[in-house]
Chain A
Amino acid sequence: MLYLLRRLAGFALTLLIAALVIFVLLDLLPGDPARFILGINASADALAALRLQMGLDIPAPARFGNWVWSMLQGDFGVSHTQRAPVAKLIAERMAVTLPLSVFAMAISMAVGLPLGILAARHRGKPLDTALMVMAQGGVAVPNFWFGMLLTLLFAVTLRWLPPGGFTPWYEDGWLALRGLVLPSLALALPQAAILARVMRTALVDVAGQDFIRTARAKGMTYGEAIWRHGVRNALLPVLTILGLQFAYLIAGTIIVENVFYLPGLGRLIFTAISERDLVLVRSATMVLVLAVSATMLVVDLTYALVDPRLRERRA
């Protein structure tokens, strides 16, 4: 219980510090949002009118206070350049980013974990070497490039799948799903390669431990011992990596989004930064901080589930 409370307090503090850092950094960023919107022929009075509309005349500490207070009430503000509620803009992008991240995660786990286990079982044998060379390749291939190759093969040459773009779920769920196949694959490959390597290393470590030898001494085959006692113990480092990977997928898919012109969260934030849409950048970044911190919290709590020792030691 104490473990849980301590984690939650850390979570809240992280959010507050992140909010402050984001606000200060964005305020220091050179560039005037009003001038960006109105361009180089804007007259001085039109610029002044727009700054007033955006509330840029209010002093910074008051703006910070207003922002945090509105967010606590669930109000994320209205985007400067898009003139639409930020919450709506983010929700629209989440409809792409969230399924994309989940699919990519699922594919990378389905591919990476079994390969890692297989490699560990055949440690030092040709199969292990072959798998690890492949994994090394997978880590080294940039995902945007892999995405372009996928497009060339499946969209331009074979025409099985669309080269990119996204049909909204409400319009045609099947088309929406098809649009996510290639980007999920492009995202999943390097992740799967990393997972396979981590899984293999963790299992190999565990395999050398006393309790595996004891299990073997009791008559279990090597495979049985690894499966019953090894995998669960090897999951701890794997979980850490999974948490990091999910956070990366939510926040860091912008390059793949560009390759497949998907309306995801990464592109929303990237555009908003270049347009100096401060309200949108701030609030969207906060949502990301929230998502990443929440993922880490869940990972921490899952540790406790997987490893009873953690529960007892920390409580």
Chain B
Amino acid sequence: MRATKSLALAMAGLLLATGLACAQSTEIRIGVALEPPALDPTAGAAEAIDVVVYQNIFEGLTRIDQTGAVQPGLATAWTITEDGLSYRFTLAQGVTFHDGTSFDAEDVKFTFERLLADDSVNAQKALYQSIAAVTVIDPQTVEITLSRPDGLFLFNLGRGDAVIVAPESADNNANEPIGTGPFAFVQWDRGSRVILEQYGPYWGEKPALTKASYVFISDTATMTNALLAGDIDGTNNFAPEALAVFEGNPQFKVLVGSTEGETILATNNARAPFDTLAVRQAMAHAINRHDIIEGATYGYGVPIGSHFAPHHPYYVDLTETYPFDLDAAKTLLAGAGYPEGFSATLKLPPVAYARLSGQIIASEFAKIGVRLELINMEWAQWLEDVFANKDFDLTIISHVEPFDIGIYANPDYYFGYDNPEVQALNETLNATTDEAQRKVLAQQIQIIIAKDAVNGYLFELAQTGVWNAKLEGMWQNAPIEGVVLHDIHWVE
């Protein structure tokens, strides 16, 4: 009798325990390597800001989906006039900011006037210079007129830099972000984590998660331990050298996707000897992309032959423009007057892909007589020396902006490429809204800069996420900076 009783009790206990284990979690803890310095995406360039807030706390008129396409956001529909100069947006109804204030056309007008004001500190202010006026038609309708057609306007509206903010809260968004998104900011324990909670009155479809914490772990070994110990449920982009630990482990899944990061051996085209085409061509022939991708990204990068993302519909494969050929490289160098090669510096920012690629490139270039001195730098110093003062020969950097081929049309840009043909093509591209025509123009530019070997084109950075195997709905690719929580959910 007693035995049966305790058996029954044990069974009941077991049932209770399994019942608890089956109850689906609606919380997630995500490890990220970099802590955002502040939480206002309209006043800083740090990717870490968008990782926490983009499409979670804040929303824009449009939003970018995981394929990189433009979708309706706070603007549910829009019409564009024939000349491409006037956009009329219909705004979503019943939208409130997390502090309870309501959202209407006045907030849109405020957002763009703040972005374009003289004292604006928006990191991408230049992208919105085509806006001539923002007019409130009625609380649910707003019209934006442009001074010139802008093929990327709708995409740019979907960026973190153009999210809609309210006049009541905009000034405090750095520390206490208030947006219209599906998640509201709860607390920020600086140095350790940011906590978000589902916003009950959210106007759109409710997300599955009720709570999300971003935990800041900069050390790779520590992040590995935190994942293995179950202290975090995943990380959106993990160091490639640590992925082997998780690939064979059924408790985890590794998501390998693409990003917008073209990694290039940026070359100072305005400085000798790099102002000579043959020298740049010789260097292009001496780049062994396979070795660099294996050595610097553990095989996770995708080779590129021009400054364009391989997953984009406009992409042309130009990796064979200057195939790896040391003899051809030596001949070109000799023809350019450098039979013995030359010495140059290679300034490297503090990211693993740059430091590792730098060492490999230096050893490859040595074979054609180009002796590179590697100089390691911090970001602040790199920005000042290389980017602002253009005091460099070569550097390695990933350009992470989506659709940024326009930098080749700016002769003042740090790599100093001045080609009127590219400048004219880019101007036409910007003013063209027809997809087929845009594709032709974008491909022409890709081909010209590849042939000119403006920079050494190395690889497209991969996004390598590690997640608990029971999580679904994460973005595999990163067409824009952010970790969008909306579709993430637990499954059994």
Q: Give A residues with C-beta under 8 Å from B.
A: 29-33, 35-43, 45-46, 49-50, 52-53, 81-84, 89, 92-93, 96, 148, 151-152, 155-156, 159, 162-166, 168, 258-264, 267-268, 271, 274-277
Contacts and interface: CB of A to CB of B under 8 A. Distances in A.
B225 A275 contact: no
A32 B118 contact: no
Contacts of B119: 49, 52-53
Given A152-B225, A164-B222, A271-B35, A92 B191 contact: yes
Contact of A39 (B123, B190, B219, B221): B123
Given A38-B44, A82-B37, A165-B231, A32 B388 contact: yes
Nearest to B414: A40
12 contacts: A31-B381, A40-B387, A49-B119, A49-B121, A83-B40, A83-B174, A89-B190, A156-B229, A165-B215, A165-B231, A263-B190, A276-B380
A31 B384 contact: yes
B216 A261 contact: yes
Contacts of A274: 350, 378-380
Given A46-B125, A49-B119, A82 B190 contact: yes
Interface residues of B, number: 49
A193 B43 CA distance: 49
Given A32-B383, A258-B218, A83 B126 contact: no
Contacts of B174: 82-84
B312 to A, nearest CB: 19
Nearest to B174: A83
Contacts of A258: 218-219, 222
A168 to B, nearest CB: 6
Contacts of B124: 41-42
Please indicate which of the listed interface residues B44, B383, B387 has the most CB atoms of chain A within 10 Å of its own CB. B383
10 closest residue pairs by CB, A with B = A263-B191, A39-B45, A31-B380, A81-B37, A83-B174, A38-B123, A163-B229, A263-B192, A43-B126, A50-B121
Nearest to B226: A163
Contacts of A264: 191
A37 B217 contact: no
B276 interface: no
A264 B350 CA distance: 23
B225 A163 contact: yes
Contact of A93 (B191, B193, B219): B191
Interface string B121-145: 1111111000000000000000000
Please indicate which of the listed interface residues A41, A43, A159, A276 has the most CB atoms of chain B within 10 Å of its own CB. A41
A159 B230 CA distance: 9
Contact of A165 (B175, B192, B387): B192
Given A32-B388, A165-B215, A263-B191, A38 B222 contact: no
The SS class assigned to the B binding surface is loop
B482 to A, nearest CB: 16
B45 A40 contact: yes
B118 A49 contact: yes
A259 B219 contact: yes
Given A46-B125, A156-B229, A261 B215 contact: yes
A182 B37 CA distance: 28
Contacts of B193: 165
Given A36-B380, A261-B219, A274-B378, A41 B191 contact: no
B38 A31 contact: no
Contacts of A164: 217, 222, 225-226, 231
A23 B226 CA distance: 38
Given A41-B401, A267-B191, A36 B219 contact: no
Please indicate which of the listed interface residues B40, B121, B174 has the most CB atoms of chain A within 10 Å of its own CB. B121
Please indicate which of the listed interface residues B125, B380, B387 has the most CB atoms of chain A within 10 Å of its own CB. B380
A274 B191 CA distance: 15
Contact of B126 (A37, A41, A82, A92): A41
Contacts of A35: 380, 383-384, 387-388
A41 B119 CA distance: 17
B96 to A, nearest CB: 25
